[in-house]
């Protein structure tokens, strides 16, 4: 390893690709990203236990998840721009520490209101943390070879974090207490904040720009309305959620506000989201692919979890273990995709093939029955979905930030996180609504023909298979939509080379 001559303390030096600490920086950012991603699922497994402990209703239970999604989804663009303006390291560490504090207080909750508030605060600080972490990765790894490896690992964690959350949530809930699904974030946060302060370079914008207040108000309120409308639809049974006046009102308001946001941003001097970020074909294609893939992905996590626990009788820990092959394969394939394949294949082929493989995996998952075995029925489907997601997520995280100016790295990172979050919200609402309607129709059609307990179980399996078919269709549609958006040919992976900075301590 080549030696470095350290400048005076506090002096910012050009990034040296041989700097020994860059891989430790990746470890810090990966820990923070894992904390944010797994928190979407780790609490879900613990909810029944929290409900018993804090005495809240089934209707209230969904708000523990929704409060996090509302704050996180609506504040992401603002968080990304704050990182660009006030410094990525400063915003990253603030996000990590705030997330840890909210988690610690949430774990000690004595009421439903207290837990819900802490989940909302978690989401708000997560909206600071997630785009800052991805933009720091963009600035740290600018050489094409190392960028591919780093984004492969990061994208793999982003794709597999939900299944890690299921396993970790099951272990903590079953062997300790539901509160530890919140407390565990403090461990992640301590490691990420200490590492961040020690390793990350202080950064400030080359010229201080004003925060676009009109754009911020429109973006935050529009995203809030959209996520709330989708969450409200998911709370209602079947298609009733989509025809409910409150759902329609919030969705319409979200669309109008976001349309106004685009109109304002095209004319703003210092826009919250510069249109140059999304106009690039590869970046726009990456955001679209992430959005659509996140819709379909929830068909795997949500309904396969239901199936394993309610039909096959798996414990929370065994359910988490069932997802381990998906976790390992996503990380491995993502690493290969971003280090080997993306240098030889067009993103159009790579991402398109990944989406089609994920579609085939979900279609294969429809073979499930009341007494299916894991290895012959479920595992092959998980393998195909995992390979597909690995081919999609890592290249999309890389392409979504490739070629942006340093001043736009935070908001570009926020945009890909917004695509993932909104896609996940739509997937949850849409697939849950479809599955509920399918189960009700099955029971209505076969009422009186068999014992009620058997009929209910068969209706549940039928609803899951319908959801898997719809998820497969979403993946297939995504391949058709995304392929024309992405440029043909191998991308210029050196587009970010030379824009990163590191501070080398004296």
| Nearest one of 335, 319, 322 to 387, comparing CA atoms | 335
Question: Within 13 Å of residue 192, how many CA atoms lie on the same side as its CB?
Answer: 31
Give the pLDDT confidence score for residue 504 in this predicted structure. 30
Q: For residue 40, give every residue at least 6 positions away whose Cβ sits within 8 Å of its Cβ, in sequence order, or none.
A: 65, 68, 69, 161, 162, 165, 424
**Cα–Cα distance measured from residue 57 to residue 486, given in angstroms and rounded to the nearest whole number:** 46
Which of helix, strand or coil describes residue 486? coil
| Nearest one of 123, 108, 112, 124 to 59, comparing CA atoms | 112
**Cα–Cα distance measured from residue 479 to residue 485, given in angstroms and rounded to the nearest whole number:** 10
Strands (E), 241-390: none
Contact between 174 and 315 under an 8 Å Cβ cutoff? The reply is yes
Give the pLDDT confidence score for residue 278 in this predicted structure. 85
Give the pLDDT confidence score for residue 502 in this predicted structure. 37
pTM (predicted TM-score):
0.82
Q: Domains in the chain and their CATH numbers?
A: 20-490 (1.20.1250.20)
Classify residue 505 by its DSSP letter: -
Strands (E), 4-133: 12-14
The parts of the chain modelled with pLDDT lower than 70 are 1-20, 58-59, 203-209, 234-241, 299, 492-506
Give the pLDDT confidence score for residue 493 in this predicted structure. 61
Give the pLDDT confidence score for residue 363 in this predicted structure. 95
Give the pLDDT confidence score for residue 17 in this predicted structure. 41
Give the pLDDT confidence score for residue 16 in this predicted structure. 45
Report angle CA 61, 65, 71 to the nearest 5 degrees. 135
Give the pLDDT confidence score for residue 480 in this predicted structure. 94
**Sole residue written with tokens 């997330």:** 99
For residues 78-114, one letter each, b for 16 or more C-beta atoms within 10 angstroms of the residue's C-beta and e for the rest, the string is bbbbbbbbbbbbbbbbbbbbbbbbbbebbbebeebee
DSSP states of 258-284: HHHHHHHHTT-SS-SS-HHHHHSHHHH
């Amino acid at each position: 390893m080549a030696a470095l001559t350290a400048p005076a303390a506090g002096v910012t030096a050009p990034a040296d690709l041989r700097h020994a600490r860059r891989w430790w920086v990746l470890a810090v950012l990966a820990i923070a990203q894992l904390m944010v991603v797994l928190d979407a699922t780790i609490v879900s497994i613990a909810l029944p236990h929290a409900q018993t402990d804090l005495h809240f209703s089934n209707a209230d239970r969904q708000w523990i998840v929704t409060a996090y999604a509302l704050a996180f989804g609506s504040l992401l663009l603002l968080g990304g721009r704050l990182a660009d303006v006030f410094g990525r390291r400063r915003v990253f560490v603030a996000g990590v520490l705030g997330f840890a504090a909210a988690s610690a207080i949430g774990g000690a909750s004595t009421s439903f209101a207290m837990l819900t508030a802490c989940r909302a605060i978690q989401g708000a600080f997560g909206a600071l943390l997630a785009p800052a972490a991805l933009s720091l990765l963009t600035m740290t790894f600018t050489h094409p070879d190392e960028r591919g490896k780093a984004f492969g690992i990061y994208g793999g964690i982003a794709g597999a974090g939900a299944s890690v959350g299921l396993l970790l949530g099951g272990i903590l809930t079953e062997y300790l207490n539901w509160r530890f699904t919140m407390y565990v974030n403090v461990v992640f946060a301590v490691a990420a904040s200490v590492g961040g302060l020690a390793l990350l370079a202080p950064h400030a914008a080359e010229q201080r720009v004003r925060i676009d207040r009109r754009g911020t108000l429109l973006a935050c309120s529009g995203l809030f309305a959209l996520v709330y409308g989708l969450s409200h639809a998911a709370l209602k049974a079947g298609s009733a959620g989509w025809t409910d006046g409150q759902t329609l009102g919030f969705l319409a308001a979200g669309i109008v506000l976001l349309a106004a946001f685009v109109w304002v941003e095209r004319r703003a001097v210092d826009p919250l989201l510069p249109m140059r970020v999304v106009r690039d074909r590869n970046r726009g294609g990456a955001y679209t692919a992430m959005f659509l893939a996140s819709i379909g992905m929830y068909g795997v996590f949500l309904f396969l979890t239901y199936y394993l626990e309610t039909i096959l009788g798996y414990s929370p820990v065994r359910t988490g273990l069932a997802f381990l092959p998906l976790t390992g394969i996503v990380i491995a394939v993502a690493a290969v995709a971003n280090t080997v394949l993306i240098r030889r294949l067009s993103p159009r082929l790579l991402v398109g093939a990944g989406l089609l493989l994920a579609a085939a995996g979900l279609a294969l998952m429809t073979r499930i029955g009341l007494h299916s075995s894991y290895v012959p029925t479920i595992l092959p489907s998980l393998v195909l979905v995992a390979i597909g997601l690995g081919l999609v997520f890592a290249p999309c995280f890389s392409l979504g930030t490739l070629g942006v100016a340093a001043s736009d790295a935070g908001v570009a990172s926020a945009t890909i996180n917004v695509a993932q979050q909104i896609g996940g919200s739509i997937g949850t609402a849409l697939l849950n609504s479809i599955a509920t309607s399918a189960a009700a129709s099955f029971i209505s059609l076969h009422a009186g023909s068999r014992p009620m307990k058997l009929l209910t179980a068969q209706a549940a399996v039928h609803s899951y298979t319908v959801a898997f078919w719809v998820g497969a269709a979403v993946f297939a549609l995504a391949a058709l939509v995304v392929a024309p958006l992405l440029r043909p040919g191998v991308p210029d992976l050196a587009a970010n080379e030379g824009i990163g900075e590191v501070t080398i301590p004296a």
